Amino acid sequence: MVKFLKDRELVEIYKFKEKYKEFELEEIDKLFVLSETLLNIIVDFPALQQTFDNYKELSLQEIIDLLKKDKVDFHCVRKKLKNLTYLTEIEQIHLSEATEKLFLLKFMGKLLGDWHDLDVFFNELDLMRNEKKISEINHRKMIKNLKEQQSHIVEEFHQKFEELK
């Protein structure tokens, strides 16, 4: 069942990426059908709830494993976190209010989004330095400042992740 869900998810993501420029209402409806199908599986087949929970646990464990590495690939962590957030959202569709866990996942996703924005800015600064639009000294100062910001973001992410576990 986990493989079926993962394969189905990948197919829908691929379809979305291929069609996102056109954004037809019919295509968007198809994406929501997958979410509704998963929710119906959870509601109508309680025995499959464990399979869904196992899939979410696997996603969480993948993040834990990535965070244990000496050099953490936060791009990959961010993708896995998005997956876990989407799964949690799907599971909570029938609730009137989102749970604290969902808010925490979204906040952590925002932190990693901020981290990524800084990472992109590093590349822009390198380009500006190479094109002599900023001096080497200013480049170093800005990079130092941005790395400190990134470090604070990573620290806060780890604190929030501990709350999640």
pLDDT digits (tens, 9 = 90+) for 100-127: 899 999 999 999 999 999 999 998 999 8
Q: Which helix (H) or strand (E) holds 51?
A: helix 49-67
> What total number of domains does the chain contain?
1
Q: Look at 163 and 28; give whichever has higher pLDDT.
A: 163
Region of residue 135 (phi > 0: left; psi between -120 and 50: alpha; otherwise: beta): beta
Q: Look at 24 and 154; give whichever has higher pLDDT.
A: 154
Task: Provide the residue range defining the domain that includes 103.
Answer: 2-164
Residue 63 pLDDT? 96
For residue 62, name the pLDDT band (cuts at 50, 70, 90).
very high
What's the chain's average pLDDT?
83
For residue 99, name the pLDDT band (cuts at 50, 70, 90).
confident
